[in-house]
């Protein structure tokens, strides 16, 4: 098991609602990346936070936003949920953006009805 934890594990929302997902990074890691994994697909990069600043963003609309706290834990917020937002949301923490040190959490399964 990695030291990356995510909450909640599962979530059901309705279209138009807002959701907040949480990620606790591995001890000593200062970088958190968020990915969206649709069913049967590879993870897609949403954005990365490095030392509390957004450091790179994928092709996702502004209703996907995030935050990193001084203890390097992170939140992913999604506003105005759409049916296509149904997916597994993964966070991964690493040390100083080095992918060799990156560990993924187990993910949050979001279902939008």
Q: Which residues bind another protein (CB under 8 A)?
A: 2, 4, 31, 33, 35, 40-45, 48, 56, 58, 90, 92, 94, 96-100, 102-107
Minimum CB distance to another protein smaller for 85 or for 108: 108
Q: Considering the complex, state which of residue 19 and residue 31 has its C-beta at the smaller distance from another protein.
A: 31
What does DSSP say about strands 31-37 and 44-50: parallel, antiparallel, or unpaired? Answer: antiparallel
Of 53 and 100, nearer to another protein (C-beta) is 100
Minimum CB distance to another protein, residue 7 (Å): 14
Least CB distance from residue 9 to another protein, whole Å? 9
Both ends of the chain: CA-CA distance in Å?
31
- Take residue 8 and report the two structure tokens written for it: 């909640």
* Contact predicate 105/5, CB 8 Å: yes
List, as one string, the DSSP characters of 39-63: TTS--EEEEEEETTEEEEE-S--TT
């Amino acid at each position: 098991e990695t030291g990356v934890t995510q909450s909640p594990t599962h979530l059901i929302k309705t279209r138009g609602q807002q959701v907040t997902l949480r990620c606790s990074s591995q001890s000593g890691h200062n970088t958190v990346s968020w990915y969206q994994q649709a069913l049967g697909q590879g993870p897609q990069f949403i954005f990365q936070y490095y030392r509390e600043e957004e450091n790179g963003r994928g092709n996702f609309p502004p209703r996907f936003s995030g935050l990193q706290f001084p203890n390097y834990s992170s939140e992913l917020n999604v506003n105005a949920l759409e049916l296509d937002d149904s997916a597994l949301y993964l966070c991964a923490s690493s040390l100083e953006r080095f992918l060799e040190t990156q560990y993924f959490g187990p993910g949050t399964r979001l279902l939008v009805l």
